[in-house]
Chains A and B, each alone.
Chain A
Amino acid sequence: MASGFVIRKNQYYDSVFLMGVNKRLSQAEGVLQTAVLMGSDKNKQLLVDIGIGGDEITKANPNDLIVAVIGESAQVVESVLRELDHALHAFEENLSGPRIHSLEDAIAEKPHANLAVLSIPGEYVLREARKALEDGLNLFIFSSNVPIEGELELKELAAEKGLLVMGPDCGTSILGGTGIGFANVVNRGSIGAIGPSGTGLQEFTCQIHNAGYGISHAIGTGSHDLSDEIGGITTLQALEALEANAQTKVITIIAKPPGVATLALLLERIKGCSKPVVGCFLGARMETAEWGDTLAWAPTIDHAVLSAIQHVDEKQELAKLTLTNQERDLATNARASWTPEQRYVRGLFAGGTFCYQSQLILTEASIMTHSNAPLDPKNSLAHPDKSLEHTLIDMGDETYTFGKPHPMIDSTMRSKRILSEGRDPSVAVLLLDFILGYNASMDPVGDLLDAIFEAKQMKQQQGGELTVVASICGTDKDPQELDLQEKLLREAGVIVFHSNAKASLFCCELLKPVQESVS
């Protein structure tokens, strides 16, 4: 143990300040006790009580600063006293701005705000959203688990006030070029989009951009908007807004099949729309006669993209969604390296709409798929973790995201699942999606690369080859560097498409002969 002190003549500080300095000094490693005080008689007695005394101390007066240190070693004491100035002046650091803790305060701070983005637990959404609407704010509600009757109340209130409620469970919007939530950086243009699904809108807007066209506005509506309980309130408002919006030449709706009554209502509204509308209601069945003059029907997102582009650029031909011969050869080669046991596809998706569209396309090709989010409830997996034959999993489903980050942000769950599928000798194809854009992982490919390598290795050890097929949803303007992401995948032997529909079609091609032999 060692001790030491310094006296600074005529350096007066108030005792409260010195208590703070004392706290700082006493936190240094190896310090047993410190005293930082002015040389009053009472204080000098305190020093004597802890074993610090002597002539110098006795002679100190109340305007002299005394700093005493008792430490484990002389070095400790010396270094603490040497750092004294630092401790005396350390209070000037750590400036931070004021924080806002409530919507009310934010409104007071920014009375001209026109949009509130809510990403708070579902049970609190109603209260905050009501306040926002009362204050004239439009809403983007990312939160899910908002009771449906609450959603209805909000949307009715908003409609009454002429405000828009995007959500709840809304992942994406692009308003006037600004991406909100999970959105890609896309060119501005004259194609408008509306959709309850975030990834559906992302896929659509990316493909429009990648084809050299642009988006006027893409309005997310929330996943329940087209249910019959809600009746498409937001979709109808968005349609109206885009119809009135001079920049928008064509309006595309990307959605899973709406409720029966809502679809009828929507079609009626579309018939009266002054602008052409492209309807992509994935898997909805509809007689051509019911479409009306203004509606172009698109079975997949890719069809919707082509159809929308055709409306703004007549030179464009409406191509069919097919594979090139080169792609077919690629499929044949891949298939040749499989063992006889390898016969199934396993799709692991971050985007719910991708899982859905892939099921549609595979089913269309008579490939029966199981899923945790099936098209038909009879194909529901008994346990989402246990794949069965052809299985497509929505990793963004509540089972996987309850209390955990979404697979678009965190790859942990998907990595694990890739490995477990790789281990299964009956698996031939792994179908993945990679989603770029704001708020998604900054390196979605890199996050899964190790797992992909390992799964491929396992398959090789089984004597076969794992065919990994991926779609990337992104643009060259996204913060993640599309080129690099794609390069990483190709170098890992992954077959890459810029469309989930194309990737799914490729899987059909891969599985065709297998499928034929099964049936």
Chain B
Amino acid sequence: MKDKDQELLLEKLVVINVGVSGFADSLEQQEVEVIQVDWSPPAGGDEEMIDLLEKLL
């Protein structure tokens, strides 16, 4: 079996775009299947919570 990175060059791209929505827009213009994630920092960026969640979730 080929590595997935090699398959990537042969397959149709299906993209999850996390962050800047313009990147998703330009992919859509190229008729690529893309889903936009309106991302925000985990735990609202609260470091203490992020550390705790790392252990618990």
Contacts and interface: CB of A to CB of B under 8 A. Distances in A.
The answer to whether A and B assemble together is: yes
Interface of A: 99-103, 105-107, 109-110, 112-121, 124, 127-128, 132, 136-138, 142-143, 158, 161-164, 175-181, 183, 216-217, 237-238, 240-242, 244-245, 438-439, 479
Given A110-B33, A114-B13, A114-B14, A237 B5 contact: yes
Contacts of B32: 178
A176 B9 contact: yes
Contacts of A118: 18-19
Contacts, number: 140
A122 B24 CA distance: 19
A116 B39 CA distance: 13
Contact of A124 (B11, B30, B33, B41): B41
Contacts of A115: 8, 13-16
Given A179-B30, A438-B26, A241 B5 contact: yes
Given A110-B33, A244-B2, A439-B26, A120 B15 contact: no
Interface in B1-54: 2-20, 22-24, 26-27, 29-30, 32-33, 35-42, 50
B4 A178 contact: no
Contacts of B26: 179, 183, 438-439
Contacts of B42: 124, 127
Contact of B9 (A112, A119, A137, A217): A217
Given A103-B37, A115-B16, A241 B9 contact: yes
Contact of B5 (A100, A112, A113, A163): A163
Contacts of B19: 117-120, 142-143
Contacts of A110: 14, 16, 33, 35
B57 to A, nearest CB: 11
Interface of B: 2-20, 22-24, 26-27, 29-30, 32-33, 35-42, 50
A508 to B, nearest CB: 36
Contacts of B40: 101
B22 A439 contact: yes
A113 B2 contact: no
A241 B6 contact: yes
Secondary structure dominating the interface of B: mixed
B27 A178 contact: yes
Contacts of A113: 14-16, 35
Report, nearest first, the 7 A-B pairs whose CB atoms are least far apart: A162-B3, A119-B19, A164-B5, A438-B26, A119-B20, A106-B16, A113-B14
20 contacts: A113-B15, A113-B16, A114-B4, A115-B8, A115-B16, A116-B16, A117-B15, A117-B16, A120-B41, A121-B41, A124-B42, A138-B8, A143-B19, A176-B13, A178-B13, A179-B30, A180-B23, A242-B9, A438-B30, A439-B23
Which has the most chain A C-beta neighbours within 10 Å: B9, B13, B40? B9
A245 B9 contact: yes
A78 B46 CA distance: 52
Contacts of A100: 35-38
A244 B6 contact: yes
B14 A180 contact: no
Contacts of A138: 4-5, 8
A186 to B, nearest CB: 12
A352 B24 CA distance: 24
A229 B21 CA distance: 32
Nearest to A217: B9
A119 B3 contact: no
Nearest to B50: A127
Nearest to B26: A438
A142 B6 contact: no
A136 B4 contact: yes
A161 B5 CA distance: 9
A112 B23 contact: no
A110 B24 CA distance: 14
A164 B8 contact: yes
B9 A175 contact: yes
A133 to B, nearest CB: 10
Contacts of A438: 26, 29-30
A237 B2 CA distance: 12
Contacts of B24: 117
